[in-house]
Structure 1
């Protein structure tokens, strides 16, 4: 059995002049070396070789299809478009790889990848046919087909399908996590919409053309108008935002409004900081 030397450390007591301290003691031990995992080594080598062949296929297809398209357009645009032919089925393979634990989700990118590959092979064959080299066109088209077939085999070897009950459990967990993620954006959208509604209401309440009975001095808030309307518990930042939306810019009045609807202990420097930051409505 093969072994290898490993350096380790441990704490040991060490005494000098009657004073003991715990110090590091470095020592070496021989540990067994596990046998090489040839299966994993071969799989990694095959995967790397398949990736190299993809690069070869892309270069060949791009050169052929680019030359074909260059007959009717400028070369830079032709070769840029030619990349899309192979890039389409390569991206489908990447998505299929991401869904390797879920056969149902991997089926669609696999089928789309086969379709994109067929289009690329036809384009390469057409280039050879138009150039009067039908045999070369067919052989060139087969190159992409061989690479795609090889990658399909490699992907199936990497894939680890789950049993039916485990797959159902994963689907439910994925749906629950997806719902939570969606609610983050939805809650943000609703908060923004409610803020816009509140700001619009405040603008209408402070409209100079409004009923004079509603625009007089309010002895309770001292804002010279009914002031912003509080629709529920608010943070200091929300209160400052609402006050600004209502046209209140005086720091003292904003602070008074914050004390009324948000935090009675809010400090003036906090409110002034939000005002300087220009809190968005």
Structure 2
């Protein structure tokens, strides 16, 4: 009689344990034997097909690089020739990778599939040209077929892993992906806007602190001061107001005006702005 295969699993649970009349929940570990699930031969075959496709692609890459590199080495340095030869097969391999990533988006995967086929044709033509130049056209044809077989093997592996969707489910997936893609696209856009806004705010702070901008240009002229001037709200002073107050208090020295205005405003003032306002006050006097 055939014994059924089992496997040991570890199970942990909290159980009450009492010591000296005090009970606490402690972790108890037990090992039990359960029937082992049957071997999934379909999954094993699927893995084998995938590994075989990867091996085929690797062989095709090595063979094509060797053949095309030998052809290009007739006119350039060998290192450069073989480095450039990698591009021929890497192009259609990259297209296959993109096709894999877009396997649930047939509309976008179609472009990658078409580009991969054209890249494969170019690579096969280059391998055949190598055999033709060295007067071995049969070897060129057989060598070119290596890439075609690798591409076909990968296509078979793709079909094994494919999960076709019906039309309505595909539309649902497309709409949900579009919504998520929109949210993902907004992440760098928000970062860009935040960086731009931070740069603008930093520039404004720099210009204000250095006195390169004149926030008082829209205020009244300084030579309009005098006994008839309206009272000034000292809680919302501007540089122009602070200079006028210092002038009315009898301060005529430039450095004294700058010091008095800075104290009233609670921040440094621009010497250029102070000079301009003092000139206006002197002309009005």
**TM-score (normalizing by structure 2):** 0.70
Counterpart CA distance in 2 for 1:125 and 1:222 is 85
The one of 97, 103, 107 equivalent to 1:104 is: 107
1:130 match = 133
Residues 128 and 135 in structure 1, CA contact (< 8 A), matched pair in contact too? yes
Task: Quote how far apart the aligned CAs of 1:3 are.
Answer: 1.6
Task: Quote how far apart the aligned CAs of 1:68 are.
Answer: 0.6
Counterpart CA distance in 2 for 1:65 and 1:106 is 28
- Write the deviation string for residues 121-173 of structure 1: whole angstroms up to 9, x where unpaired: 00000001101111111111101111101111111221112111111111111
Q: Structure 1 215/206 Cα, relative in aligned 2: closer, same or farther at 3 Å?
A: farther
Residues 56 and 153 in structure 2, CA contact (< 8 A), matched pair in contact too? no
The one of 25, 38, 62 equivalent to 1:22 is: 25
Query: Is 2:39 the counterpart of 1:8?
Result: no
Task: Quote how far apart the aligned CAs of 1:188 are.
Answer: 3.7
Q: Structure 1 214/185 Cα, relative in aligned 2: closer, same or farther at 3 Å?
A: farther
Task: Quote how far apart the aligned CAs of 1:214 are.
Answer: 7.1
Task: Quote how far apart the aligned CAs of 1:17 are.
Answer: 3.6
- Write the deviation string for residues 83-139 of structure 1: whole angstroms up to 9, x where unpaired: 000000000000000111222222111111111011000000000110111111111
- Write the deviation string for residues 232-273 of structure 1: whole angstroms up to 9, x where unpaired: xxxxxxxxxxxxxxxx9xxx649xxxxxxxxxxxxxxxxxxx
Unaligned 5+ residue runs, structure 2?
223-231, 242-261, 269-285
Task: Quote how far apart the aligned CAs of 1:72 are.
Answer: 1.1
Q: Structure 1 25/195 Cα, relative in aligned 2: closer, same or farther at 3 Å?
A: closer
1:74 match = 77
Task: Quote how far apart the aligned CAs of 1:16 are.
Answer: 3.6
Q: Structure 1 213/20 Cα, relative in aligned 2: closer, same or farther at 3 Å?
A: closer
Counterpart CA distance in 2 for 1:212 and 1:33 is 86
**TM-score (normalizing by structure 1):** 0.71
2:149 match = 146
2:239 match = 224
Residues 105 and 174 in structure 2, CA contact (< 8 A), matched pair in contact too? no
Secondary structure of 2:239's counterpart equals: coil
Residues 206 and 225 in structure 1, CA contact (< 8 A), matched pair in contact too? no
Task: Quote how far apart the aligned CAs of 1:223 are.
Answer: 6.1
- Write the deviation string for residues 200-227 of structure 1: whole angstroms up to 9, x where unpaired: 778599447x95957979954556369x
Aligned Cα root-mean-square deviation (Å): 3.2
Counterpart CA distance in 2 for 1:96 and 1:165 is 22
Counterpart CA distance in 2 for 1:131 and 1:47 is 35
Counterpart CA distance in 2 for 1:215 and 1:126 is 85
Counterpart CA distance in 1 for 2:137 and 2:199 is 66
Which protein shows a greater Rg? 2
130-139 or 22-31, larger mean C-alpha shift = 22-31
Paired residues in the alignment total 230
